[in-house]
Chain A
């Protein structure tokens, strides 16, 4: 991080319940160092937005304490927290021009007129909308409104910026472009960003660390590559990226390795990640691009499968196979231009390395 202007955030055993009967957030402990881009990722109803709203001050925590720069903020009203926020539908004030929208947080802070104008100008230039100051939000495209919303959340130099699914309303191409822009703005300013999304690609693209939420609990908190390469449980493996799952039972454990017998009797070697003892049910997780057709006899795992379907996708070919009784087994084959013939109905041998196959807790 070039400069760390950011604030540190700490959730200390935070719980949240709306109805007094069930917990939406169950005992959340989370440390966010200054300047980090942290994404809260999870399906809807997983509690990620609630966590964000508690940090912003719009929802009170039922139990526990949230710290901003080591200062407890549970009793600080939202407008005194000094946290910038980008909302799902931008929430740009429709009766004000873009420049007035940006000047609003400065006006309420009694910033001098000249200073206001300079800051607004700088913020608009940061998002490349220098010429749009006099327009109304309704006269801007979705992507432009999005940039104004980001600029408004940053114009008063907050140390922490929250973003609540800010790209959800944009089309795919614009969304990808904005992901890079937000990432670069974060890198240049060094503020702490807490970002909420249900889009795993977005989370992987932008974040320093990702907290995967499910059922009110953080399932895993890691860097994007760790999350993909070393999922700690089958929910994370399923939620992040594409995943083949094979259900079976642990029959042998050797240090960090284990031997798993699938339900049809096939035995596979796997990395022992989330199993405890021989006899445990387990779900093996295997990324589609790690399975090889060009097998050699010294590979850790070798099985025969029948090709069910071939889907041509340009840069790669998706092969759906029936492997060990699972006919949703997907293999991605890079399109290298070589005329390797694969035919539907053909039975071929596939193989993969032990380290690419993770033995996780048994999925539902």
Chain B
């Protein structure tokens, strides 16, 4: 404290400039150079990682399409009471006509139709049908009759309720959908039982990821222990075997599991040949959860072994010797002396495997069947097949939040300082 001021005066350099300014100037060059060095990576990360995530977060709530396509209708609808039980009056239909003429010209009405179809099926065809008729309508009105004539759905309250509900630019609809809920005239309520899917999928993703993490730990711990304990020459050979899967394509490995696990596959053939199972009792090990767990455990195993190994390598064998000299048998010296010191490796490996598996896509897609697919497969479906990007974005955001929450919980329980990658 007293170093910066002496007798209330700022310290200065020999030529009278303030010391702090001088120091900052001297360091600026170095900071700038450091920034230049990381600039390529920084820009790359911003463009390919931060920007897409921000875009995804935005898309999950963005809903400008109604207000953009039917601006006048949205304004006119504000006066309509959606709980009145009656369709809106002529003014709203007049506004709708004006909007539709422009929309049909720009061919944006079908896009709006498919957007609203996510919320209420049938609206897509309503807009398509009306779009074809709009040219033939009488510009003088009355519009309500003409619209009802084009499609009687324009007369139902539900259609207008949906339109009004989704006219704000920001919507919680996608997120409600992700939670298997929906916005109705009476507020938020759960979807009917038979339509609920996402919460169940999230639960399954979580459950399978935990199972995969645990099986990776159970299989990886002894191998990492062996790797750390063996003399260097032998352990190098073993390490190559551990890393071997990294050098093979993920697709090839997953396909190999198909060959092994299918009902007419190698393992079933072998079991039948040995007589352990009968020809009729061939095991179903693929296109279900078992397949996903086996294949993903295999693929993610190195991510558990490597952090474990690098931590175990630093645990001196003297500790176990010391424990034994103090009277502890093999098990106690392992459990009370060796194991606690390997916990940082377990933490790192578990976090790595868990986060990788919770967002895994290819393997569940190929070997998961219907009972072994993850939430990520559903996200991919909405992005590439149903083209409901808003819902995909909302599901993705939820996945991101779930991982972050788990991370915080993990930090509270294990402590993030206890994670060591080497």
Which of A's residues lie within 8 Å of B, judged by CB? 56-58, 77-80, 82-85, 87-89, 91, 93-95, 104-105, 108-109, 152-153, 156, 162
Contacts and interface: CB of A to CB of B under 8 A. Distances in A.
A153 B327 CA distance: 11
A95 B325 contact: no
Nearest to B337: A93
Shortest Cβ-Cβ A-B pairs, 10 listed: A91-B322, A105-B326, A85-B325, A91-B318, A78-B324, A95-B340, A79-B324, A108-B328, A108-B327, A79-B327
B318 A87 contact: yes
Interface in B319-374: 319, 321-329, 332-333, 336-337, 340-341
23 contacts: A56-B321, A77-B324, A77-B329, A78-B321, A79-B325, A79-B328, A79-B329, A82-B327, A84-B325, A85-B321, A85-B325, A85-B326, A87-B318, A87-B321, A88-B318, A91-B322, A93-B323, A104-B336, A105-B326, A108-B329, A109-B327, A153-B326, A156-B326
B2 interface: no
Nearest to B326: A105
Contacts of B321: 56, 58, 78, 85, 87, 91
Nearest to B318: A91
B316 interface: yes
A85 B327 contact: no
Contact of A56 (B323, B325, B328, B332): B325
Given A89-B316, A91-B318, A104 B323 contact: yes
Contacts of A162: 325
Nearest to A93: B337
Contacts of B327: 79-80, 82, 105, 108-109, 156
B298 to A, nearest CB: 32
A87 B322 contact: yes
Nearest to A104: B326
Interface string B249-271: 00000000000000000000000
Nearest to B340: A95
Contact of B319 (A58, A78, A88, A93): A93
A95 B321 CA distance: 16
Given A108-B327, A108-B329, 20 more contacts: A77-B329, A78-B325, A79-B329, A80-B327, A85-B325, A89-B316, A89-B318, A91-B319, A93-B319, A93-B322, A93-B337, A95-B340, A104-B323, A104-B326, A105-B326, A108-B326, A108-B328, A108-B332, A109-B327, A156-B326
| Number of chain B interface residues as a range | 10 to 19
Contacts of A105: 326-328
Given A87-B318, A91-B316, A152 B326 contact: yes
B340 A85 contact: no
Contacts of B333: 79
Given A87-B321, A89-B316, A89-B318, A95 B341 contact: yes
A160 to B, nearest CB: 11
B37 to A, nearest CB: 34
B255 to A, nearest CB: 44
A152 B324 CA distance: 13
A20 to B, nearest CB: 16
Q: Which of B325, B336, B337, B341 has the most A CB atoms < 10 Å from its CB?
A: B325
A120 B29 CA distance: 57
Contacts of B318: 87-89, 91
A349 B362 CA distance: 94
Contacts of B328: 79, 104-105, 108
A85 B322 contact: yes
B318 to A, nearest CB: 4
A144 to B, nearest CB: 17
Given A104-B336, A108-B332, A94 B341 contact: yes
A84 B327 CA distance: 9
B30 to A, nearest CB: 33
Contacts of A95: 340-341
B217 to A, nearest CB: 19
A190 B51 CA distance: 74
A58 B336 CA distance: 19
Nearest to A58: B321
Contacts of B337: 93
Contact of B325 (A83, A88, A89, A109): A83
A89 B322 CA distance: 11
Interface in B283-335: 316, 318-319, 321-329, 332-333
A276 B325 CA distance: 46
Q: Which of A57, A83, A87, A162 has the most B CB atoms < 10 Å from its CB?
A: A87
Contacts of A80: 327
B337 to A, nearest CB: 6
A85 B327 CA distance: 11
A108 B325 CA distance: 11
B322 to A, nearest CB: 4
Nearest to A87: B318
Contacts of B324: 57-58, 77-79
A89 B340 CA distance: 19
Contacts of A84: 325-326
B243 to A, nearest CB: 30
B343 to A, nearest CB: 8
A223 to B, nearest CB: 28
Contacts of B325: 56, 78-79, 83-85, 153, 162
A93 B326 CA distance: 12
A83 B327 CA distance: 8
Q: Which of A78, A85, A109, A162 has the most B CB atoms < 10 Å from its CB?
A: A78
A83 B321 CA distance: 12
A101 to B, nearest CB: 9
A361 B332 CA distance: 52
Q: Which of B316, B328, B332, B340 has the most A CB atoms < 10 Å from its CB?
A: B328
Contacts of A91: 316, 318-319, 321-322
A232 B332 CA distance: 47
A70 to B, nearest CB: 21
Contacts of A85: 321-322, 325-326
A104 B322 CA distance: 11
Contacts of B332: 108
A94 B315 CA distance: 10
B46 to A, nearest CB: 40
